[in-house]
Structure 1
Amino acid sequence: CSRFSALMCPLFLYIDEIVSLALFDACCSFNGPNFDKIEYILTASFNKQKMLEYNSTRGNWIGFTDYSIVASTFWNKDPLDRLERAMEIKLMCFDNRDSLTFVLISPDGRHQAVLVCSAYNFYPKQIQITWLRNDQEVTEGVSNTDVIPDGELYYQFHSYLEYTPTSGERISCMVEHVTLWEPRIIVWNNSLPEGEKTKIVVGLCGLIIGLVIFISGFIYHKKKKKVLGSIPA
């Protein structure tokens, strides 16, 4: 699951002199043989208690408390809510879908193979790629490009490993970035034909502050409307 850390945003709600802390977490999971099937999950928690969850596979909200069950029922009937969720999926999953490309390059005459591990469309620019042979770091035969801006805020980075294949060994590429919850390891499948690319989708994304405000404001509006509607005239 590729999470958007910026979507865990504090929101203070001042209702009836009670201060509540709301946290929002969005997650895009990429599945299928070409990683083209996306499951989007959005959760809302208040005061560390999970209240609501939207799952694009189910296509609806579910609530975990009396209030949130009422809210989820309302949102599941709201055409505007479905439109907003579809917009989030496009902006946060499809438009921010990034890829690591593991490529076997033709031999250059000096070594039997050159592997390239490339990271695209990530932000911020600080990134670390480490080569592993049988889970041990490899430093010999490794070279890296500079972190290259693509002109649209995001960056790309390429790391090369020149090596002589040995039967039974495991070659992998480990990527570390602030937007990854843990290092991502991609194992080279040496059964692939030379030059074939294996794409592994990960969530190297920037901070989508505008969308955080949009989601937070929407949930706040619904909660406030519910509370105000319960006050006797």
Structure 2
Amino acid sequence: VLTDEDFYQVRACCTFKGPHFEKTEYILTSIFNKNLMMEYNSTRGNWTGFTAYSIEAAKWWNSDPFDALTRKIERKLDLFLNNVLKYNLTTIPTVRLKSVKRPNGEHASTLVCSAYNFYPKQIRMMWMRNGQEVTTDVSYSDVMPDGDWYYQTHSYLEYIPSSAEKIACMVEHLGLSEPMFVVWDPSLPVAQRTRIAVGLCGLVIGFVIAISGIIYYNKKSAAYITVLIGALHLLPTGQRIHL
């Protein structure tokens, strides 16, 4: 603040670009009383003036080798901070893929690709069918905060199941050195297969116990009848027995 009426501001901004955010564009702006005066852009590598005074000032700054060196140092510092953020303050997403059947009984289904617990929030999700990007019947949710510095998001693919297709969800994130691929496996999930196996084992054990009980009962009944017949033979002739 220069006076009660005059306000001067310098603002630095670094924009990350590229599939893995490996490229940066450093922009330094000079503002006076909310009017943009000058701007330095690392992509162009020079200052640009927007008023008569700042145009002349930009010419002077562009001819100053010390200013050019200062801008290079600032950009390298931004690259260094970017790497610090990338490798120390990032959390890679946990990706899960599941199928949701439509309630109306239609043959088509919905695949849901969910990314959880990632930071920062910038993320890209794509559907791949046999190695090609799918652009139709695809929708996305917003990137939603979990309330603990982490984020989650979901992507949906409407599809008709086919055994000949290979469908995968591809995820790109700042914390990943390369894209993550999660391939859809149409077989039953491990938990569901485990429940089925446990149920079958219980059914088999119950069947075995029932058969063993029937066999034991038949053997006991046969032994009782044998003993009873033997006792009848020991009775005097003509004597009755009431059971």
Please, what TM-score do these two structures have when normalized by structure 2? 0.39
Q: Which has the higher helix share?
A: 2
Greater radius of gyration (CA): 2
Please, what TM-score do these two structures have when normalized by structure 1? 0.41
